[in-house]
């Protein structure tokens, strides 16, 4: 049975060019980048080259890129340091953020004298900008941090990050965005968009797991939450994983250089799948804005199937074990919790929530032939 991987919002297949670059570093550049001898300096050069390459894409300074173990650590670094170092009193966020943000905000509110405000969401899960402005007005006398993700990892909704950044600037609020699902698709020009902090993770764009970065605007005032050595401009102690950083750089540059071609391919795959689903299941629906090719990520389609609840409970099992199809009911980070998706709970009616929703997410490696096979599996499931 052929395996079909449609869970790329959770993680992606590592590109062969990335594997080659990482192997070369592990073989030839094994010095500690903090060491002052030639072996260390050679490794340090690779780290700083990667930092400059990534910063250049964002029109940022190299010192504004801090390497981390991934998006979760980067979000934690920013949110926790904002409370401790910037004196933030109020955090404005939404109920459909990634748990790296939601759980951290909840903990910060328990441990500190911090107020959390949740911005209203529209019918499709989009942020209500007018309500966001009212919350900023209400808390104008307080030090405020707004944390809203650029692209939702479950339903693919796209935030107008430029509008939100400018609104935060008008109200002198800090703005953090979890951009893990978007930096390789949509990009950010830090000279045009006044975002203070954002994050990335290599395994979302065909790089290795366990490496990511935080963008921290110069002179922000943040300090380390992981202390020890002076690595990463003193913001993140610990010996840098040189091969992982080079893998991140290789993957990111390749994604950006081939962005137009990749996004066109993703949109074609997504549209083809959407049309096939609508033809096979006239009552099918799409959660959030994921069914809108212009207003959502090209790589995410969150599908609500018209199956009876008891039958729908078997769908993921059928797709995986009988159809060889890898997909998910929501974020991989919550897969062991046995809870409904917090994103869908926030945006769906109680009746729609009872229906079976599946997130399919695509990559440059997926083909129309694979989509045909998935559709055949779904049609066979419906007939049984």
Long-range contacts of 16-23 (CB under 8 A, 24+ apart): 17/250, 17/254, 18/206, 18/207, 18/208, 18/247, 18/250, 18/251, 18/254, 19/247, 21/246, 21/247, 21/249, 21/250, 22/208, 22/243, 22/244, 22/246, 22/247, 22/250, 23/243
Name the residues annotated as catalytic. 333
Residue 322 has pLDDT above 80, yes or no: yes
Per-domain residue ranges for the chain? 4-12+259-383, 16-257
The CATH architecture to which 16-257 belongs is: 3-Layer(aba) Sandwich (3.40)
Query: Which pLDDT value is given to residue 331?
Result: 62
Q: Which CATH architecture has domain 4-12+259-383?
A: Alpha-Beta Complex (3.90)
User: What is the predicted pLDDT for the residue at 93?
Assistant: 98
Whole-number mean pLDDT of the chain?
A: 95
Whether the model pTM is above 0.75: yes
| Closest listed residue to residue 10, CA positions, set 311, 349, 331 | 331
Residue 199 CA to residue 193 CA, distance in Å, equals 15
Quick one: pLDDT at residue 336?
46
Q: Per-residue pLDDT tens for 87-105?
A: 999 999 999 999 999 999 9
* pLDDT score, position 128: 98
Alpha-carbon torsion (275, 276, 279, 280), positive or negative: negative
Residue 338 has pLDDT above 90, yes or no: no
5-50 confidence digits (pLDDT tens): 999 999 999 999 999 999 999 999 999 999 999 999 999 999 999 9
Average pLDDT value for residue range 346-362? 95
């Amino acid at each position: 049975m052929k395996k079909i991987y449609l869970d790329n919002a959770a993680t992606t297949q590592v590109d062969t060019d990335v594997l080659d670059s990482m192997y070369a570093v592990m073989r030839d550049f094994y010095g500690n980048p903090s060491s002052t001898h030639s072996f260390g300096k050679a490794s340090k050069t690779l780290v700083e080259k990667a930092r400059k390459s990534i910063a250049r894409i964002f029109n940022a300074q190299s010192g504004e890129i801090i390497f981390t173990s991934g998006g979760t650590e980067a979000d934690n670094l920013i949110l926790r340091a904002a409370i401790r170092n910037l004196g933030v009193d109020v955090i404005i966020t939404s109920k459909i953020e990634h748990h790296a943000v939601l759980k951290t905000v909840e903990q910060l509110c328990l441990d500190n004298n911090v107020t959390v405000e949740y911005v209203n969401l529209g019918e499709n899960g989009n942020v209500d900008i007018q309500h966001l402005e009212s919350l900023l007005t209400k808390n104008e006398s307080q030090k405020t941090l707004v944390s809203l993700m650029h692209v939702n990892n479950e339903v693919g909704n796209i935030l107008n990050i430029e509008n939100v950044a400018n609104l935060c600037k008008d109200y002198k609020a800090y703005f953090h965005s979890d951009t893990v699902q978007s930096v390789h698709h949509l990009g950010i020009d830090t000279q045009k968009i006044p975002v203070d902090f954002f994050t990335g993770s290599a395994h979302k764009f065909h790089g290795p797991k366990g490496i990511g970065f935080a963008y921290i605007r110069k002179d922000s005032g943040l300090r380390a939450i992981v202390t020890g050595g002076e690595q990463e401009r003193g913001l993140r102690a610990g010996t840098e994983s040189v091969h992982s950083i080079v893998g991140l750089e290789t993957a990111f540059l390749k994604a950006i250089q081939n962005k137009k071609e990749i996004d066109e391919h993703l949109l074609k795959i997504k549209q083809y799948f959407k049309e096939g689903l609508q033809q096979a299941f006239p009552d099918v629906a799409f959660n959030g804005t994921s069914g809108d090719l212009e207003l959502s990520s090209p790589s995410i389609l969150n599908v609500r199937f018209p199956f009876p609840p008891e039958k729908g409970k078997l769908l993921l099992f059928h797709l995986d074990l009988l159809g060889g199809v890898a997909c998910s009911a929501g974020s991989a980070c919550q897969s062991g919790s046995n809870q409904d998706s917090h994103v869908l709970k926030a945006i769906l009616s109680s009746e729609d929530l009872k229906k079976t929703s599946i997130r399919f997410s695509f990559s440059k490696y997926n083909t129309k032939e694979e989509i045909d096979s998935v559709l055949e599996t779904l049609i066979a499931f419906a007939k049984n």
